[in-house]
Amino acid sequence: MLEVKRETFGEWPLGGGTVEKFLLRSDTVKVEIISLGCIITSLETKDRDGKFSDIVLGFDHLEGYINKHPYFGAIIGRVANRIAKGKFVVEGHEYQLAINDGPNSLHGGVKGFDKAIWSPEVLPDGVRFFRISPDDEEGYPGELKVWISYTLKDGELTINYRAQTSKTTPVNLTNHAYFNLGGKGSSNIYDHEFTIEADSYLPLDETLIPTGKITPVQDTAFDLRKPKELGRHLQKFHLNGFDHNFCLAQRKEPHFCARAYHPPSGRMMEVYTTEPGVQFYTGNFLDGTLKGKGGHVYFKHSGFCLETQNWPNAVNQISNLHTYILLPQGMEG
């Protein structure tokens, strides 16, 4: 039986409004989401012995999410990932976005969707959030109405994205939860096994922008079509970690794209999507400066992200525009 509870999480400073928290609970999963950035602040699942533990990185209190952090659990928009030099051309007009990641624009800019308070609506099986991104917010054209819903059925959490715009504009929404299946306080993810059902990936330049090539994973470190234990795999290929887009077969119905398995606890997570890519990120930029839940310090490789989305910088790659540009009054799910 599913339970949905609503309560206050905290007050935004300087009269910015109340941040609410929503608890979705089934027999096997407990999820907490707040109206600030539609952030997943907690996701508890059972291990093989039936013991619950929180498997997402984050903070115990609102203050942690107000301060600077690496998008823990948040909805990302208008455009997830990087846009080269923060520029793109739509219908003959060049737009300049806010630059916040070296020479590039990352995750919607200086004040992306992760930093906004959304309007919530309780559903029978979850919660739906809504906000209006005004024309020219962070440099993007058009007024964009966005709905994000989280629904829970047994052990399956579904995130649905819908958007409607007044002008042709790029939009690429995702969730940026960091997972560690070992549970709260686990120091790294080296003992996790990862599988990604992708035959190709996008190589990156020195600023983490795709080079434009689509490269087969065969005989490379990016061949994760069979399970690989992360620690051994990084050592074998002398990798700093992953922060790459894996190219998926795009379908109208959600299909399997990735799996993470933690042998010591028995926890397993599978990801299904309709999107053409999944960004696999292994927390390479976590550096021990953040204290999270229970005072635990988040070091490099403390968590992983599997961000289903369109390909990074797709707005500047003609071949992929058809899945990326949102036409006026269009919708994307």
The catalytic residues are 176, 307
Q: Is 175 annotated as a binding residue?
A: no
Q: Is 81 annotated as a binding residue?
A: yes
Q: Is 116 annotated as a binding residue?
A: no
DSSP for residue 101: B
Nearest to 194 by CA among 155, 154, 234, 250: 234
Q: Is 25 annotated as a binding residue?
A: no
DSSP for residue 86: G
Is the Cβ–Cβ distance between 287 and 68 less than 8 Å? Answer: no
Tokens of 295: 């005072």
Where is 230: in which H helix or E strand?
helix 230-237
End-to-end CA distance of the chain: 27
Q: Is 243 annotated as a binding residue?
A: yes
Q: Is 131 annotated as a binding residue?
A: no
Which residues make Cβ contacts (< 8 Å) with residue 42, sequence separation at least 6? Answer: 30, 31, 32, 54, 56, 58
On the CB side of 218, CA atoms within 13 Å amount to 2
Is the Cβ–Cβ distance between 241 and 283 less than 8 Å? Answer: yes
Where is 280: in which H helix or E strand?
strand 277-281
Q: What residues form the annotated binding site for beta-D-galactose? A: 81-82, 176-178, 243
Q: What residues form the annotated binding site? A: 81-82, 176-178, 243
